[in-house]
Structures are given as C-alpha cells and as structure tokens.
Structure 1
Amino acid sequence: MRYLITALAALSATPAFAAGDKPFFSLANTDFVVWIAFLIFVGILVYYKVPGLVGGMLDKRAEGIKAELDEAKALREEAQSLLATYERKQKEVQEQADRIVASAKDEATEAAAAAKDDIARSITRRLAAAEEQIASAQAAAVKDVRDQAISVAVAAAKDVMADQMDAAATGAMIDDAIATVGEKLH
C-alpha cells in the first residue's frame, strides 16, 4: 500500500497535472504535490532512521577530527619543545665556538710573542757569534801581520848585519853571546 501511495504521489507530481489557477489542496496544484512528496520523503527517511545514521556518521567524523586536532596539538607542542631544545643547543654551541675562537686568538698572540722573543734571542746569539768570529779573524790577521813583520824585520836585519859585519866583528859577537849565555846559565 505504501508503494502505491508513493507511486501516485510521484505520478501526480508531474507538470502535466499542475495547473496555475487550481486550489492549493488539489493534486493539480504543483506546490501541493511537491509538499506531499516532500512529506513522504521525510517520512521514509525517518522510518529508515536515516537522520540517526547521518548523525552517527557526523559524530564519528567529529570525533575523528577532534582526535586529529588533539594529535596535531600534541605534535605542535613536541615540535616547539624540540625547537626550544635546538635553539638552546645552538646557543651553547655558539658560546663554545666563541670561547674556542677567543682561546685561539689568545694562543696565537702568546705564540707570536714567544716567537718574537725566540727571534730576538736568536739574533742576539748570532750577533755575538759574528762578533766573536770578527774578533777571532782580527786577532788572526794581526798575528799574521806581526809574523810577517817579524819575518821581514829578521830578513832585513840579517841583510843589514851581513853588510855591516865582517869576519872579526862576527867572531867578537859570537864570543860575546857565548859569554852571556854562560853567565845566565850558571
């Protein structure tokens, strides 16, 4: 029987039965036919509990969205804590890097000062060694000049004495030298 009413309502809702000047409660009036069809449609939906099913699906969807929002909120909080941790670690690493750079600068300054001191001492030692070599060379040169002067003086004295001495003077000199040696030895 329900199917028959539904079929009649569907057939009566056609535009061929609709009339413009008909009374409202007539099947010839399209507004009335549409209103009846709507009520039948709503009744079928209520009978088959479609609004409850749709409501249940919407509730499930709302619960799923709420769960996703809660998960997203938890992920956001976790990401913020990770970000704060990484920012703190970055700050610590930056401070450590600054300390390392400062330490390296201090060590470089100390190394430069030590190198200057080492170079100054090395230059002082080399200057002293050079002065000693110069003094030694001067002493050797003076000795060579003296030795050469003595050799030249002896040769010149020999030549002068050989020219001025005759045999009698030479004999007297030899006797005199032997007497002097004898006095000094005894």
Structure 2
Amino acid sequence: MEFFNPHLYDLSNAELWVAVGLIAFFVIVVLAGVPKLVAGQLDARAARIQSELDEAARLRAEAEALLAQIRQEKAEAEAQAAAMLEAAEADARVMEAEARAKLEETLKRRQDLAERRIAQAEVQATAEVKAAAADLAARAAEQILAARLAGQKTDPLLDDAIAQIGSRLN
C-alpha cells in the first residue's frame, strides 16, 4: 500500500514524477485520438481480412461449381463414348452379317459355276465318247463290209447289227 504513503506525494520524489508523466502521456494519447486511430486501423485490417475471406469463399464456390460441371461433362463424355462404342459394335455386327451373306452368295455362285462346268464337261465327254464309239463302229462296219465284199457272203446277224448301230448311236 504504497499509495497511502505520505512520502510518495513529496515533490522531490522521482516516483511521483514518473507517475505524473505516465498519466500525462496517457491523457495526451487519449486526447490525440490514438485509440481511435488504432481502432480504425484494426477495423480496416479486419475489413481487409474479411474481404479476403469473402473472396476466398467466392473462389471456392466457383471452383466447386467448375468441378461439378467438369464431373458432369466427364459423365456425359463417358456416356457418349459408351454409346459410340455400342453403335460401333452394332455396326460391326451388321457389317459382319453383310460380309457373311456376301461370302455365302459368292460361294454359291462359284459352286453353281463349278456345277455348270462339270455338267458341260460331262456333256462334252459323253459327246466325245459317242463320237469315238460311232467312229469305232463305222470302222468296224467298214472292215466288215470290205470283208463281205471280198467274200461276197451275207450274214443276216451282221446285217441286223449294222442296221441297229445307226439307231443306237442317235
């Protein structure tokens, strides 16, 4: 309780003058408006920080909206890619069916052509065999006739066979 000590209020006491100087300093500071200045600067700094926080919140909201839009576009792109893949697979199946039908048609045409060629070859071979048989029969008939003319003999069986050769060859 130094405050109640009478020696404290002696004008030669240095502690008294320090206390008076300190009180005068605080009065001058208050009268000069330093607390308002400090409070104004603190308020300005708080407002600046608040505006930076608001800007950060706005940027975050924009980023979240952009992220949502990108995710939606990604989902749409994936869906579009899946649809394109399905369409490509369907086109491939159609092309495969068309190719298979064309291949079967080509094979059938080639088979028909081969069968026609075989039939023509058979007809030609039959004609060649008939011609060879007719030629052989004509030579045999010529030899028989030559032998008959040489011997002037008539053989009724031979005459019937020669008569039948002409009808059998046709």
Task: Tell me if both proteins adopt one fold, taking TM over 0.5 as the criterion.
Answer: yes
- Report the CA distance between 1:137 and its aligned residue: 0.8
Q: Does 1:88 align with 2:72?
A: yes
Q: Does 1:137 align with 2:121?
A: yes
What corresponds to 1:149 in structure 2?
133
Q: Which amino acid aligns with 2:41?
A: M
What corresponds to 2:91 in structure 1?
107
In structure 2, relative to structure 1, the CA distance for the partners of 1:154 and 1:76 (3 Å cut) is same
1:3-152 equivalence runs, <5 A: 25=8, 26-27=13-14, 38-39=22-23, 41-152=25-136
In structure 2, relative to structure 1, the CA distance for the partners of 1:68 and 1:164 (3 Å cut) is same
Q: Please, what is the CA RMSD of the aligned residues?
A: 2.7
Gaps of 5+ in 1: 1-22, 170-186
Question: Aligned residues, how many?
Answer: 144
Q: Normalized per residue, which structure has more helix? A: 2
What corresponds to 2:149 in structure 1?
165
Equivalents in 2 of 1:34, 1:144: separation in Å? 151
- Report the CA distance between 1:167 and its aligned residue: 9.3
Equivalents in 2 of 1:165, 1:157: separation in Å? 12
In structure 2, relative to structure 1, the CA distance for the partners of 1:165 and 1:54 (3 Å cut) is same
- Report the CA distance between 1:51 and its aligned residue: 2.4
Identity percentage of aligned residues: 33
In structure 2, relative to structure 1, the CA distance for the partners of 1:68 and 1:167 (3 Å cut) is same
Gaps of 5+ in 2: 1-5, 154-170
